[in-house]
């Protein structure tokens, strides 16, 4: 369906069980999952996603999808299309300390698995989900912007910028880290600004990436080189604000050299690179995940440092948990949007998301240590962890969502 066919919400329409606000990867997955579970669902989004085309350059924003995310997308009937379109499996991860050289390796075969995950373009995932919504019975309302939120005893009414309104028994806010709906619901956030930006680009390297995700921790932040299916690597280089701006402004030859040095030339020389972009980094956690007939998920609930590549995976785990909790309540004949039901979802996911977010934050702080005694202590810890197979396996399984 072309963008020209999208319409505003009608003034009157079928009664809705759930309105999902935000059509990014997590919001679209939530709408699709809830519709496939039998809920009358609408998805509201301000801008339709850019159509994905195999002839286009690879999207600069990529995500490492963990096995838990692959399972959800497969259950939603979209993973086969994504996998056949363009994605890169990775079987190994090598993480090393730029200060001491201490390293830790994760290997799929050693964990009894075929792979650790897939590197996939954000746009490809979002577009594939978006296309699947109509067949699943989701009412796509686009462009649609929510200007007001009014929760009553049995329903929530959304006031739209068009002057129209929409009501549902439950509103799911998946409208990003700056979530207007979270603010309308009166839910505060906590966290910290890293005063960093992640510089992203795709690069050609002298040597093969070997289906390996490489990550080097540097004083200014981590540098990741993620394998792409065409043999290139996608870089995510976390840098202090001023340094990120300087790197973005470098001429190509200087950028390639500095990136090679930062990567320790692990994949040889950096031969060429695409255009560069950058996005700001922060830790942000919603102080609650629910209000009356209202829940948060994805970046609206939690924004984390990209060093572990888990942001979207956490959001998709939110989706799976919310679907399961709502289905269990409905099938037991209860009001699926009742406060005690939503608390079950909120308690489980906020606990898990907070643990992960604080863990990533602690890792970022630990690798920022530059004092020689602390670098030595960090190095000993990393080398010990690499030898403790049971603990390392637990970490790998947690990251995989198993």
Alpha carbons within 13 A on the beta-carbon side of 371 = 5
pLDDT digits (tens, 9 = 90+) for 84-141: 999 999 999 999 988 788 888 888 887 788 899 999 999 999 999 999 999 999 999 9
Task: Please give the model's pTM, rounded to 2 decimal places.
Answer: 0.90
Q: Is 282 helix (H, G, I), strand (E, B) or coil?
A: strand
Question: What confidence score (pLDDT) does residue 344 get?
Answer: 96
Residue predicted with more confidence, 36 or 384: 36
70-79: list long-range contacts, CB under 8 Å, 24+ apart: 70/117, 70/118, 72/29, 72/33, 72/316, 72/319, 72/320, 73/29, 73/125, 73/316, 75/33, 76/29, 76/32, 76/33, 76/36, 76/129, 76/132, 77/36, 77/132, 78/32, 78/128, 78/129, 78/132
Q: Is 153 helix (H, G, I), strand (E, B) or coil?
A: coil
Quick check: 209 pLDDT over 80? yes
Question: What confidence score (pLDDT) does residue 397 get?
Answer: 64
Q: Which of 28, 122, 132 is nearest to 78 (CA)?
A: 132
Contact call for residues 191 and 34 (beta carbons, < 8 A) = no
Structure token digits, residue 216:
């080097």
Q: Is 269 helix (H, G, I), strand (E, B) or coil?
A: coil
Strands 92-97 and 212-218: parallel
pLDDT digits (tens, 9 = 90+) for 321-359: 999 999 999 999 999 999 999 999 999 999 888 888 888
Give me the phi and psi of 198, to 5 degrees please: -95, 115
Contact call for residues 223 and 212 (beta carbons, < 8 A) = no
Determine what percent of the chain is predicted with pLDDT higher than 90. 74
Domains in the chain and their CATH numbers? 3-365 (3.50.50.60)
Residue predicted with more confidence, 113 or 199: 199
Would you place residue 4 in the very low, low, confident or very high pLDDT band (cuts 50, 70, 90)? very low
Q: Residues 11-40: what's their mean pLDDT?
A: 89
Would you place residue 377 in the very low, low, confident or very high pLDDT band (cuts 50, 70, 90)? confident
Quick check: 263 pLDDT over 60? yes
CA distance 321 to 172: 13
């Amino acid at each position: 369906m072309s963008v020209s066919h999208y319409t505003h919400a009608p003034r009157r329409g079928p009664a809705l069980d759930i309105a999902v606000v935000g059509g990014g990867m997590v919001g679209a997955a939530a709408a699709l999952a809830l519709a496939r579970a039998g809920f009358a669902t609408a998805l509201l989004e301000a801008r339709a996603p850019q159509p994905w085309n195999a002839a286009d350059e690879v999207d600069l924003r990529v995500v490492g999808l963990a096995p838990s995310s692959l399972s959800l997308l497969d259950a939603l009937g979209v993973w086969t299309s994504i996998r056949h379109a363009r994605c890169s499996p990775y079987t190994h991860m090598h993480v090393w300390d730029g200060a001491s050289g201490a390293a830790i390796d994760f290997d799929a075969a050693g964990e009894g698995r075929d792979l650790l995950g897939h590197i996939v373009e954000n746009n490809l995932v979002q577009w594939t989900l978006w296309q699947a919504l109509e067949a699943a019975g989701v009412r796509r309302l686009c462009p649609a912007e929510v200007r007001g939120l009014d929760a009553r005893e049995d329903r929530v009414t959304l006031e739209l910028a068009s002057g129209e309104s929409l009501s549902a028994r439950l509103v799911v806010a998946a409208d990003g880290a700056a979530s207007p709906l979270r603010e309308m619901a009166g839910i505060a956030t906590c966290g910290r600004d890293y005063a960093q930006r992640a510089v992203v680009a795709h690069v050609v390297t002298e040597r093969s990436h070997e289906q390996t995700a490489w990550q080097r921790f540097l004083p200014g932040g981590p540098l990741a080189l993620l394998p792409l299916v065409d043999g290139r690597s996608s870089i995510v280089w976390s840098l202090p604000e001023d340094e990120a701006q300087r790197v973005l402004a470098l001429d190509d030859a200087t950028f390639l050299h500095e990136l090679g040095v930062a990567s320790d030339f692990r994949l040889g020389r950096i031969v060429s690179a695409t255009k560069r972009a950058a996005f700001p980094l922060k830790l942000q956690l919603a102080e609650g995940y629910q209000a009356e007939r209202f829940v948060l998920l994805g970046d609206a609930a939690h924004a984390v440092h990209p060093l572990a590549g888990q942001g979207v995976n956490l959001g998709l785990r939110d989706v799976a948990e919310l679907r399961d909790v709502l289905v269990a309540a409905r099938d037991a004949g209860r009001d699926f949007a009742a406060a005690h039901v939503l608390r079950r979802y909120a308690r489980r996911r906020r606990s898990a998301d907070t643990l992960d977010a604080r863990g990533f934050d602690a890792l970022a702080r630990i690798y920022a240590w530059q004092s020689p005694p602390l670098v030595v202590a960090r190095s000993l810890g990393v080398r010990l962890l690499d030898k403790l197979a049971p603990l390392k396996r637990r970490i790998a399984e947690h990251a995989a969502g198993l």
